[in-house]
Amino acid sequence: MLSLNELWFVLVAVLFIGFFFLEGFDFGVGMSTKFLAKNDMERRVLINSIGPFWDANEVWLLTAGGAMFAAFPNWYATLFSGYYTPLVVLLLALIARGVAFEFRGKVDSGKWKGTWDWAVFIGSLLPPFLLGVVFSGLLKGLPIGEDMEMKAGLFDMVNLYTLVGGITVVMLCLVHGLLFASLRTTGSLQERARKLAHKLLIPLAALFVIFGVMTYFETDVFEVRGVLISLVAVLGVAAFVLAGWFIRKQRDGWAFGMTGAMIVLSIAAVFVGLFPRVMVSSISEAFSLTIDNAASGHYSLKVMTIVALSLLPFVLGYQIWSYFVFHKRVHEKEHLEY
């Protein structure tokens, strides 16, 4: 049976997995508005395809951060203070993106819309890249001392390994978003989204291979969790192959599900590789943060568990209902507000 520390580690992992799965297609659609859409109408269609969902999807990130703060305060403090600058940039990018969705259609001006379109693109590109850099850094290890303080320089956080991780996450979100667009649009826009997603599978596969090889040499995850990581990798390859097959068969829903499975497996692999650690110290393994030395007290975790289990069904029910209500495709002839 899981201890409360282990249970909350799993819950934090699930929250981040849910965020990357749901917000991942938002990011992908946002990036695609700059090169997939041929005119303003198609950009409006793409933005409206995620209009009912993007703000609720971002709640998963806020909830994951809140869960870290309450369940593992030392993890939260070390991570957010050490990565203060990139996380502030991440927050500003998300704010700019949200504002752009609401403001771009308020003035009928090409320059006005063009400015906010760039905000949508950059605000969709930067967050997955920065999060990929951060999660890659957690696996590689960071200079964390005995006092649990992270004193990292630029190249501790930004190096070849973390850059490849960030680019891989961006590409995965882009493919995931293109397949969501193929689910939610019609006509030539749908066809172009499907074809581009298929073309991007090759560079995505290359990035996964490069990142996997680098992970083997740059981290200890294969030493501590080799069997589980290998199993996840096999399942990921199967999902990747099936995604390509379903795209060719124009089974957009199944293809989207397979890229979603790739995201789930990828983020799950990060947490599997970390466990029971939450942050790896590059100075000494003894200084690594774990689910024990980074956690709140037993009573706090117990109360949080009761509250979380009471509220979670309502939150999930609301989000499932919203996806059911807005499941229809977006057509160019419909009234579009953005």
* Matching residue, tokens 């996806």: 323
Q: 38 in helix, strand or coil? A: coil
In the structure, how many helices (H) and strands (E) does the chain have? 13, 2
What the block records as the tokens of 117 is 């379109």
CB 140 within 8 A of CB 280: yes
AA letter at 254: W
Q: Please answer whether residues 338 and 97 qualify as being in contact, where contact means their C-beta atoms are separated by less than 8 angstroms.
A: no
| Alpha-carbon gap, residue 158 to 148, rounded angstroms | 20
Is residue 157 within 8 Å of 137, Cβ to Cβ? yes
Contacts of residues 202-208 at CB distance under 8 Å and 24 or more positions apart, as own/partner, are: 203/171, 204/168, 204/171, 204/172, 204/175, 204/240, 205/240, 207/164, 207/167, 207/168, 207/171, 208/168, 208/236, 208/240
Q: Would you write out the chain's pLDDT as a tens digit for each of its 338 residues?
A: 789 999 999 999 999 999 999 999 999 999 999 999 888 899 999 998 888 888 888 889 989 999 999 999 999 999 999 999 999 999 999 999 999 988 887 888 888 888 999 999 999 999 999 999 999 999 999 999 999 999 888 899 999 999 999 999 999 999 999 999 999 898 899 999 999 999 999 999 999 999 999 999 999 999 999 899 999 999 999 999 999 999 999 999 999 999 999 999 999 999 999 999 999 999 999 999 999 999 999 888 999 888 888 877 877 777 777 766 666 666 655 545 55
- 275: closest CA among 73, 7, 65? 7
Strand (E) positions, 193-316? 277-279, 289-290
Encoded tokens for 308: 């979380």
Radius of gyration of the chain (CA): 20
Q: Tell whether pTM > 0.75.
A: yes
